[in-house]
Structure 1
Amino acid sequence: MDVIYDTVLKIKDSVDVYISTGEPDICTIQFYHINTREKLSIRIAPEFGEVLAALDGVSPIAELMSSLGFVMDHGEFEEIIEYLLARGILEKPSFTDPDSRYSRQINFLSDWISGIPAHEAHKQIVASDVVVFGVGAIGSSIAIQLARAGVSRFILVDNKLLSLQSSERHPYFSTEAIGDFKVDALKRHLEKINCDINVTCIREKLLPHTELSRLVDRASVVVNTADEPYIGHTSIKLGRYLWGKKIPLYVAGGFDAHLMSTGDFYVPGESVCVDCCSGFFSAALVDWKPSYKIHKTNESKTHVVGGSGGTFSMSLFSASYAAIQILNYIAGGDAYKSRLSRRGEYIVGKGEIEWVSIKGRGDCSVCGK
C-alpha cells in the first residue's frame, strides 16, 4: 500500500468547498481560501467529491476509500492529493487546541505563509525582537498589535510624557498615567496583554549623536515613528545604520501631512534604501517645510509642529498596515514584497488608496538601486 493511502488528512478549516455536478461523469470542485480570497478549481470524477467530504482528520485515506467503494488509479490519485496538499487545500491534522490563545492566528498563518508550517511561522513571530522609536499614536498601535500576535521582546524609545491630549489617539492612554513617560505607560499596557512579555524602556530622544548599537543590533525589525526633530532625519540616521547591519526598518505612516500613509519598509537587499527614498520625495516636496507655531495664548508652551490633526481611526489605519507587513516578514512570508519601494496613502475624500512607486537613484552607494 502506498504511503499516501496510510495518511490522515482533512480539508483546512479556512477552505470552503463548492461542488457542481452539472455533467454526468465529471464534476467541478471549487476551493475557496477564506483567509486569502484565493480560488482553485478542478474537474474530476464525482466520486472524488465523496472522498473529500469523508476526510475527517481521523481515519486513513485507504479506510475511507474502502468504505465508499471508490476505486481510482493509484498514480493519478496520489498526484491529485499531493497537488491539493501543496496548494494548501488539504492538511494533516495538527491537533491544535481550538480554544488556545493563538489558534485563529495559526489558522491564518497556514494560508498566509507558504513553505513554512504555521506553527513554525508563529514561533518565528514569538522569537522576534522589535525596537520602536516613538510610541505615540502610531508607534504604540504597532507595538500593541505585534504583542497581541505574540511578539515577546520590545525596546521602546521615547522621551515624552503622556498628557490629557494623548487620550484622543493613544490606545494605551489612561487618566492614571497622565504625567508618566509614554514608554512606561505603554509597557504596562503590553504586560496586560501578555504577562510574559519582555519590554525595555529607553526614556531618550533619538538625536544625531545617539549610539544605536546598544538599541538595535539584536533587532529582527526596527520601527520608526519618531517625528522630532523631523521624521526624515531620524529615518536617515536609522536607515543608514540598519542597512549595513541587514536589519529592516519600517518608517510607519501618518507622518507630516500624510495622515493615512502605508509608510515605507526598507529591507536590505530587497527594497530601495532610505537615502533613495528621501531623494525621491525631496524633489516632489522641494517647497514644503514643516511649520511651527507659537502659542500666543499660553507662553509656557513654546513651539508645536503645525499642520492638520487626525483621528485615532486614521492612525490605526497606518499602524495596522505596518503591523501586517511586519508580521508577514518576521513570520517568513513573502506577501510584504509586493509593496516594497511603494508608498500608498488612503485619501479620505476619495475613499481609495493612491500609490507611488519609489525609484532608486541608479548610482546609490548604499543600495545600488
Structure 2
Amino acid sequence: MTTVLKFGGSSVATVEQIQSIANYLKNRTEQGEKLVVVVSAMGKMTDSLIAQAQAITDRPERRELDRLLAIGEEQTISLLSIALNSVGVKALSQTGAQAGISTMGVHTKSKIKQIDGDLLRKKLETYDVVIVAGFQGVNELGDVTTLGRGGSDTTAVALAAVLDKRCEIYTDVDGVYTADPRIHQAAQPIPQISYDEMMEMSALGSKVMEMRSVELGKKYGVHIFVGKTLESERGTWIMEATETMEQKAVTSVSVTKNVLTVSIKHVPQTNSAVADIFELLSNRHVNIDMISQTTFDSDVFLSFSCPLDEEEFLEEALKDIIDRFPTVKVDRHNEHAKLSVVGIGMRDATGVASKLFATFRAENITFYQVTTSEISISYTIAQADIERTVAAIANAFSL
C-alpha cells in the first residue's frame, strides 16, 4: 500500500519536530506502507528568505527569487531523509525536478504542467519513503519555479493523482471547521465536506487547503484527509458530495483578510473599454475577484477586489490602465475583508439570502459589495467588523 502525505511548515519547524515525524513514518512503514512524503520549508523559512532578498532590493528578479525560495523545501527534505535513515528507514530526498514535476507560467506563480509518475514508482521499489520538496518544479527552460501560496498542498495532491493514491495533509489544525476557530471560538468541526464546498471555501478565504489542490482532487477523484500532525484521531475528509452533506443549506463561513478593493470611475462606455481594462489586469497577473459594473448614461463605474499581497502587480496594471484611459479616476481601499457563507445545500434551499441580509440589518453591519455563486454568497466588509459578523452569521445558521 502506498500513501501520499504532506507536512506543512509549522509541522517541520524544528529538528525535534522532524525527528518526531520520522518516528511516526517509521511506524507506518513497519505496517507495510510505502510512503511519498511532501514537505514545506521549516517554519517561517520562506518568509526569512524573502526578507533577505528584500533587504537587497524591494523588487528582486523573480527567477532568482524562485531559486532562493526553493532552498527552504530542499533543506527540509534533506533533514527528514537524514532523520529517517538514522532510525533505520530507507528514505530518499527528491527536489521537484528530481521527482519529475514540470511547471509552466510565470515565476513565483507557476502551475504544474505534468508529473512523470514512473520516476517515483521506480524509487519506491528501492526505498520505503520518498520525500519530495513541495512548492516547486522545473519549467521548459530548466529553471526552478515555485507554485505560489499553498503550493505544497498542490504538489501532494498532484502526486497522489498521478500515483492513484489517497492524500493525507497534516498541518497545525485538526481539520475543517464551520468557521475559523481563531475568529469564532464556538466553531464546530466538519468530519466530511464536498470538493465543491472546500474549493469554494478555499477561494473565499479558508487557509486550510489551497483551492488548486482541492480542484485537482476532484478532477482525479483523490480523497484528501486534513488533520493535525501526529494527532490523527480527528480530521476532515474532502470527497464527493453525499446526501447528508446536502441537507444543510450553509456549511461554513469563510473570511479573507487584507483585501484590496478598487473602483474605477469614468470608464468609457464602449464595446472594448471594459475588456481592455481586464486584459491589462490579466497581463500583469492580477488575481481579480468580486467584479461589479454599473452604467450611468454614458459613464461606466467598475469595481473589483484582489489580494493585498498582489499590490505590486496591481500598481503596474493601474498605470497601464491610466495610460490607456487618461480620463478614468481610480480609488483604492485596503482595509476591507471578504466574508462568505458556503453550502452545497444552497442549490436547493430558499431564504438563505433573506436571512443573511436580515442578520446584517439586525447587527447594523455595513457591506460594500455582494457577489453570489451557486453555493455561496460573499460580502466585502470592514476588517474591524469581522468577528462580530462571523458570530452573528454562525448564530443565525447554527454553525
TM-score, normalised to structure 2, is 0.28
TM-score w.r.t. length of structure 1: 0.30
- Structure having the higher strand fraction is 2
Q: Which is higher, the Rg of structure 1 or of structure 2?
A: 1
